[in-house]
């Protein structure tokens, strides 16, 4: 970044977790055959991007609901995304 560069940090959202939810910031995702076949149009035909991709992700907990006792902010989690959302910047999961 040059000395003449200007940037402003902005808050994208302020998510309020429900009692049983964990907010995870994704750091890494797996790329597998399902993702490649979806983007190639072989599975789950979607009209236009962005496509819901990502079966698994590794992220860091950034917020927990009040009922969450076994996990805490800062911990890392591997998440299996049942609804193909691993490529999202953040995931909201329930602790069950």
Interval 13-22 mean pLDDT = 85
Task: For 80, list phi and psi in degrees, rounded to 5.
Answer: -95, 120
Q: pLDDT tens across 57-66, in order?
A: 999 999 999 9
Domain containing 85 — which CATH number?
A: 3.90.180.10
Domain of residue 51 covers 24-94
Say which residues have a Cβ less than 8 Å from residue 66's Cβ, sequence separation at least 6.
Answer: 19
pTM: 0.76
Q: pLDDT tens across 76-88, in order?
A: 999 888 777 888 8
Alpha helices in the chain (DSSP H): 33-39
| Structural domain contains residue 34 | yes
CA distance 11 to 48: 28
Average confidence score pLDDT of the chain = 81
pLDDT at 69: 94
């Amino acid at each position: 970044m040059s000395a003449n560069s200007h940037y402003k940090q902005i808050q994208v959202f302020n998510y309020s977790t429900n009692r049983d939810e964990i907010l995870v910031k994704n750091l890494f995702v797996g790329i597998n055959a399902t993702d490649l076949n979806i983007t190639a149009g072989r599975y789950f035909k979607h009209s236009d991007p962005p496509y819901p991709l990502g079966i698994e992700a590794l992220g860091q907990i950034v917020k927990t609901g009040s009922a969450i006792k076994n996990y805490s902010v800062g911990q890392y989690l591997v998440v299996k995304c049942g609804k193909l959302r691993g490529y999202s910047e953040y995931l909201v999961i329930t602790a069950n």
